[in-house]
Amino acid sequence: MITLRAELAANLDQPQSLREALQIAIELEHATIPAYLYALYSIEPGTNVQIVAAIKSVVLEEMTHMGLACNLLNAVGGAPLIAKPEFVPRYPGKLPGSVESGLEVGLAPLTLELVEQVFMAIEQPEEPIRFRVPEFGVADRITIGEFYAAIADQLKASGGSAFTGDPGRQVTHELGQEGLIAITDLDSALNAITTIVEEGEGTQKSPLDQEGELAHYYRFAEITHGRSLVLNPDVPPDAPPEDHYSYSGAPIPFDPSGVRNLVVNPRLTPYPADSAAAAANRNFNYTYTALLKSLHSTFNGEPRQLLAAVGLMESAKQIALEMGEIPANSESADGLFAGPTFEWQPLNLRPDST
């Protein structure tokens, strides 16, 4: 489970502290996306289709969460800062705002261990419900849920006075389950926070979010258990929450042979300067940086830029998939293939260019 520095939720009655907390929320929501995408890019097209669908759904919702956090910041008179080198996390590394002893997140091809030890840890609620798996074969830190709860409490305490932002900066889009909604008052703000928390963690009594879909934590748990989580029939209403569901549904098989052997944390193992892998990685990072710039414009008064951002997302995806067929280095016999480093790169120049 990820824990955040408790100081992030301090002094939220001060407008600037509230805005700084929401900027961290934007960075935190974004930082999970490259790790999920890297695992997704490692899957050979046409294989592990159920796992691909699960991870894709989580990525779309994380993108929505990032957008909702941007709308929240705009709603309280702030301005999202996305187009800056510091916005891009380093992989491997801690997630924004996490404590020193927190989880380290890197870029790696899909394995069941990665899903269990990293992805589930990112999404784990404070008290996950331990559903049955049938035989088939601290004070100085807070959880992500507690962080958002503190923001919600302060917005409630403000009595609506916190919402000083220009409604024209709100961005809407049919992305994810709930969609990217405009935030202009307390009700819409609390709805957005509930969406972010419950889509990731579920509720204390159910693995489902407010839309009746499995929260991210339990979607990842389905992958590790190899079975879908289903409602148990004939369970009395007063039974403990963990008795209502079990991982006993349809199989969710994992085929390791359908995963490309992408280099782990490619930033730590630079591609040779004159290689095809390096050229493809430059193209990816240039596109990724352009995407962040487009998102910055989108949430800073130019909502129509979202269409350009969606196009850049698709371009980055295509480059990443093509990289997975390129040897990571000249020693192609080692069987390692290239993957994107997700770095800030505003220009697309060769290393020897001037």
Query: Does 204 share its domain with 309?
Result: no
Q: What confidence score (pLDDT) does residue 269 get?
A: 81
**What is residue 40's three-state secondary structure?**
helix
Query: Helix, strand, coil: what percent of the chain each, to 5?
Result: 50, 10, 45
Q: What confidence score (pLDDT) does residue 137 get?
A: 46
- Of 204, 233, 258, the residue that ends a domain is 258
Query: Does 273 share its domain with 199?
Result: no
Q: What confidence score (pLDDT) does residue 102 get?
A: 67
Cα separation, 246 vs 261, whole angstroms: 33
Q: What confidence score (pLDDT) does residue 202 get?
A: 66
Q: What confidence score (pLDDT) does residue 299 get?
A: 97
pTM for the structure as a whole: 0.91
Q: Strands 141-143, 104-105: parallel, antiparallel or unpaired by DSSP?
A: unpaired
Is 144 inside any structural domain?
Answer: yes
Cα separation, 159 vs 138, whole angstroms: 31
Task: For 98-144, write each residue's pLDDT tens digit.
Answer: 765 568 999 999 999 999 999 999 998 877 777 766 655 455 678 88
Residue with tokens 């074969």: 137
Query: Does 230 share its domain with 304?
Result: no
CA-wise closest residue to 65 among 122, 4, 126: 122
Task: For 4-38, write each residue's pLDDT tens digit.
Answer: 888 888 899 999 999 999 999 999 999 999 999 99
Query: What residues make up the domain containing 166?
Result: 3-258
Distances (CA, A) of 189 to 112, 149, 315: 36, 12, 32
Cα separation, 312 vs 39, whole angstroms: 19
The count of domains in the chain is 2
Query: Does 81 share its domain with 206?
Result: yes
CA-wise closest residue to 319 among 295, 293, 345: 345
Helix (H) or strand (E) holding 141: strand 141-143
Q: What confidence score (pLDDT) does residue 26 get?
A: 97
Query: Does 245 share its domain with 273?
Result: no
Report CA 133 to chain centroid distance, whole Å. 27
Q: What confidence score (pLDDT) does residue 134 get?
A: 66
Q: What confidence score (pLDDT) does residue 354 get?
A: 46
Q: Which residues are CB-contacts of 2 (< 8 A; sequence separation ≥ 6)? A: 95, 98, 102, 103, 121, 122, 124, 143, 144
Q: Which residues of the chain have pLDDT under 70?
A: 99-102, 132-140, 175-178, 202-204, 330-334, 350-354
